[in-house]
Structure 1
Amino acid sequence: MDATFMLTPSPPFRLDLTVWALRRRPDNIVDRWEDGTYRRALVIENQPVEIAVTQIGPPDVPLLQVKATADQLPAEIEPAVTDFIDWTLGIHRDLTGFYHLAEQDVILDLLADRFRGMRPPRYPSLFECLVNAVACQQVTLTLGIRLLNRLVERHGIPVGSDVVARAFPRPEDLADVAPESLRDLQFSRQKARAVVELAQAYVSGAFDPRELNTLDDEAAVARLIELRGIGRWSAEYALLRGMGRLEVFPGDDVGARKNLRNWLDIAGPLDYDGVHQTLERWEPYAGLVYLHLLLDRLAGAGYVEGNGVS
């Protein structure tokens, strides 16, 4: 069964840039980009569903065609998928303030204009974001993505008989998993324990992500690092990538520091404080700088094409 409907993002919008800022690597099997279409499996009302999103209008007059497919479509499929796309792809997030700031700064304006139309994506849930952060700690991003792929292949709920379309595991899918079984997927002992304990904290109610909504950034980081396996980098990553706090630049992110140094042609190393001192001029949009620099790196690798590039 399938259902098709249309969504209209606020302009400018580019689906390709937004999806790549979310997926980060070409071998990500959760957030897939196939021939101009974004595909992802979700669990809606306990039913596995695959969505396919295609942009059929230009960035200045954007229009998205959305198709949802499942063996049995949930009754409220259209509003549920709409909410997912609105949150995850940020199709209505207002970046007017960021673009206005960029217009006053030649360096930032060049970067912002090159990737105009990207909306800051967010993971569908803070749980998924935190598991991503744990998997990617102290390893290359490519290896972290491979760990996550194995987790999804083992514990993700498939859509019908599709071996590719699997939803990212929910807390209840991982809470009863033995940490040692994740070792088979090449998770370290510490990471395996952190993932399972995080799932258990969600299921038991020991951690409720909604409590973070009332906390400022500093207090939210302090609460998150109480969780096993979550340090300052993971907590700040979660604020930006899981909650959409665009003022947050994860200052301990080694790759992001390198991107920042290369962009600004900074000769010496940057420590945590140096990162934030460098970014003061672009407050409160340090997180958007982070995402634009990620796209700049992906463009350099040939995965995306910026505006004005033929």
Structure 2
Amino acid sequence: MHIALRPLPPLDFALTARVLRRSTRNLVDRVDEDGTWTRAVVLSQGPTLLRGRQHGAKIVFDAAPAGARDRRAVEAFVTRLFSLDLDLAPFWRRVRRERGFAELALRCAGLRPQRFPTLFEALANGIYCQQLSLAAGMTRMGHLAERFGPRTPDGARFGAPRADLVARAPLPALRNTGLSARRAAQLRDLARLPLERFEDELNTLPDAQARARLLELPGVGPWTADYVLLRGLGRIDVFPSGDIGAAHTLGRILGRVMDPPAAVRFAARFAPMRGMLYFCMLGYVLGAPRG
């Protein structure tokens, strides 16, 4: 199956895929030297390797084996994952007016925000990356995907961890992925929730109320709630509070010390797309300078 999509410009799919991957320790998403992204997804015929690569103003996605009935599902999947239906022009206009952001504008031009395909994947990423370095968190997420993600027919690749498998897992198996006993129990409790119905409920609520509902979940604190709002629900005006890495990168760009509360206050000037600034902090680190 071959699908070509043309999102609104600007577009740099390779950079967007690298920011989605975040680290070479991410075993679910792969990005090759030529900018080709791959991920194992479950379609009508089972686990399938989905590939995407930019060709001019279009992104071309291929999935094999896949039938014609999978086309709509794949289009919906990649549109959500890469926010292909979002108009980012107002954000980039604001960036160009911000003093000291010229280098960020160069490195991040064409970057699109990424949204996890399921609420469980967003929650699991939040749980595994809490109060850890990105490399450590992604290493542990890789262990979870190896044990509880779907494998391609050749067994070479696996996808994101499945909530139904995690829900049935014994706690020692979850602890073996790098979690404490308490965090393992919390992750399994999350996997056992009716998350699709819960996501539908969250989608009806404004940001503050949705955040409050997320904070009621096991293992979810303020940073994780914001992270899930942004990367699970696509609330592009949420800048995750308490993110030390994002604050450090922002301070580096601006040439001054920046702690997480100051970063949140600075991001407010980019409303109603302040969450896009969060993605740019990753893009600034991962994006090569352009001449």
- Pairwise TM-score range, normalised by the shorter structure: over 0.9
C-alpha distance in 2 between matches for 1:261 and 1:120: 21
**1:68 counterpart letter in structure 2:** A
Deviation larger for 132-141 or 101-110:
101-110
TM-score normalised by L of structure 1: 0.87
Q: Would you say the 8 A contact 2:101–2:253 is kept in 1?
A: no
C-alpha distance in 1 between matches for 2:265 and 2:45: 46
Structure 2 residue aligned with 1:301: none
Provide structure 1 residue ranges, at least 5 long, that are not aligned to the other structure: 299-303
Q: 2:160 aligns with which of 160, 163, 168?
A: 168
Q: 1:65 aligns with which of 60, 68, 77?
A: 60
Q: 2:271 aligns with which of 269, 283, 286?
A: 283
Pair 228,74 (structure 1): closer, same or farther in 2 beyond 3 Å:
farther
C-alpha distance in 2 between matches for 1:195 and 1:76: 33
Structure 2 residue aligned with 1:238: 228
Structure 1 residue aligned with 2:27: 29
SS at match of 1:275: helix
**1:277 counterpart letter in structure 2:** R
Query: Is it true that 1:11 corresponds to 2:6 in the alignment?
Result: no
Q: Would you say the 8 A contact 2:243–2:260 is kept in 1?
A: no
Q: Would you say the 8 A contact 2:244–2:260 is kept in 1?
A: no
Offset of residue 228 of structure 1: 0.6
Offset of residue 109 of structure 1: 5.0
Provide structure 2 residue ranges, at least 5 long, that are not aligned to the other structure: none
Q: Matches of residues 209-248 of structure 1 in structure 2 within 5 Å?
A: 209-248=199-238
- Give the % identical residues: 33
Pair 108,246 (structure 1): closer, same or farther in 2 beyond 3 Å:
farther
Pair 45,97 (structure 1): closer, same or farther in 2 beyond 3 Å:
same
Q: Deviations over 1:180-215 (max 9, x none)?
A: 211122222122112111010137x7x611111111
**2:18 counterpart letter in structure 1:** W
C-alpha distance in 2 between matches for 1:142 and 1:82: 30
C-alpha distance in 2 between matches for 1:282 and 1:66: 32
Segments ≥4 residues shifted beyond 6 Å = none
Offset of residue 103 of structure 1: 3.2
**1:10 counterpart letter in structure 2:** L
Aligned residues: 290
Q: Deviations over 1:221-277 (max 9, x none)?
A: 11001111100000000111112212111121111111122222223x5253x3332
Pair 189,74 (structure 1): closer, same or farther in 2 beyond 3 Å:
farther
